[in-house]
Amino acid sequence: MRQYQKQCQKFGKHFTAKHKGFKEKYPLDSHASSQKFEHLQKILNPNKIKRIKLAEAETYASNAVARLMKPFTDGEFVKHCMCLAVEYLFPAPEGTGIQNKFKLIQLSVRSVTRRIENLASERTTLQ
């Protein structure tokens, strides 16, 4: 508990030092602070949704590796195959965004192992 209090104090000192005019510019319960809050939500929520979808895609791919009883090292091979297929289906100029999304998927041995362990622990808690 004491460590938590120290961290809160450090954060408070940092915030007041770096953002001196924040309380004056955005008073609590003011229209300006609510607008700033909405603006930050619009920026942050899409990133959160993207991370969630990326994690779901990684979990689905890891689940496929586990269901087919393949070695966990096959996750990297699956990712390589997906990237090749996407590059073929969506050529470079207009398909670079899609290609980059597929390259973000983590299917390393460690990631696949962790996700399969998570799936197994969820399954045992449900039974």
> pLDDT tens for residues 82-123?
889 988 888 878 778 888 888 889 999 999 999 999 988 888
Q: Which residue has the tokens 């003011």?
A: 30
pTM: 0.58
Long-range contacts of 38-46 (CB under 8 A, 24+ apart): none
